[in-house]
Amino acid sequence: MNQKIELNTNPKALELELVRSWLIEERNHFNEGFYCNWGIIEKAFNNKEFITLNHANYPIGFAVYSKSELYVEIDILEVKRNFRRKGIGQQFILKLESYFKSKGHVAFKLFCSPKESQGFWEKNGFVKFPRRGYTESDLTYFKPLVEIEKPTDSTNLTNKLELWNAEPYEIKNNAPQWTWKIDMTLNKLLKPIIHPCNNNWNLRWTKNASIVREHKVKYFNKNTKPIHCGPFLIIYELFE
């Protein structure tokens, strides 16, 4: 493919109609695709939540999304049938990551549909949500858009953040499900922590082997900047 593939973040009505035409073709000839969601796609276009991937000024892929302050939910993503299995889907994801990261977003969230696309998302670095106690599909995935502090299996850290998948009264002597090493400069983490959570789960901060604070996620930083956004625990700073 000689010509450049480009992300179009402001597609026009003509491009929407071109997408519509190949979605109809996919439905009629292969009984697949997202034409069954055309009302959602059209609404997203009107709300400027519709992006196309263009080749030679022709849309060969599109994405429907919604966004909050810090994360983006991908509702639909598709590459035109005859452009699949060429690495274009991966390019599309990378371009979307770069674009939304430049706008200040730090994570993607999505529901994997159809289920057969699960391998595609996992191949592109998406990870399943843990069970959060909500009526949430087992096919819910996320991917950070920035470099993060990853959970560790180390048990002898003196500076750490620990998260249980339970409320404070439920944890008893149970070990945390996730632990992060805390490295900070002037209260700012060297790498942020971004992880799906339930806002009622127990969170504990230990500094120099002493517990600084322990509370439900939603109350943990009550007097400072919130550390959660929608389904995510998002921490850039910690204050005593």
Q: What value does the mean pLDDT of the chain take?
A: 93
The pLDDT of residue 153 is: 94
Q: Which residues contact residue 176 at a Cβ distance below 8 angstroms, ignoring those fewer than 6 apart?
A: 162, 163, 164, 204
**Mean pLDDT over residues 35-60, rounded?**
96
Q: Render pLDDT for 175-224 as a digit per residue (tens, 0 to 9).
A: 999 999 999 999 899 999 999 999 999 999 999 999 999 999 998 886 65
The pLDDT of residue 91 is: 95
* CATH topology (fold) of 5-144: Aminopeptidase (3.40.630)
The pLDDT of residue 3 is: 64
% of the chain at pLDDT higher than 90: 82
E strands within 36-86? 50-55, 58-67, 71-79
pLDDT band at 228 (very low <50, low <70, confident <90, very high): confident
Q: Render pLDDT for 136-151 as a digit per residue (tens, 0 to 9).
A: 888 999 999 999 999 9
**Mean pLDDT over residues 85-113, rounded?**
95
Q: Which of 40, 107, 130, 47 is nearest to 77 (CA)?
A: 40
The pLDDT of residue 33 is: 87
Q: Render pLDDT for 65-95 as a digit per residue (tens, 0 to 9).
A: 999 989 999 999 999 999 998 999 999 999 9
Contact predicate 189/235, CB 8 Å: yes
> Domains of the chain: which residue ranges?
5-144, 160-237
The pLDDT of residue 227 is: 78
pLDDT(2) > 60? no
The two tokens of residue 64 are: 């429907």
Phi, psi of 91 (to 5 degrees): -60, -40
The two tokens of residue 204 are: 């504990």
What is the rounded CA–CA span in Å between residue 97 and residue 75? 15
pTM for the structure as a whole:
0.91
The pLDDT of residue 225 is: 63
The pLDDT of residue 223 is: 62
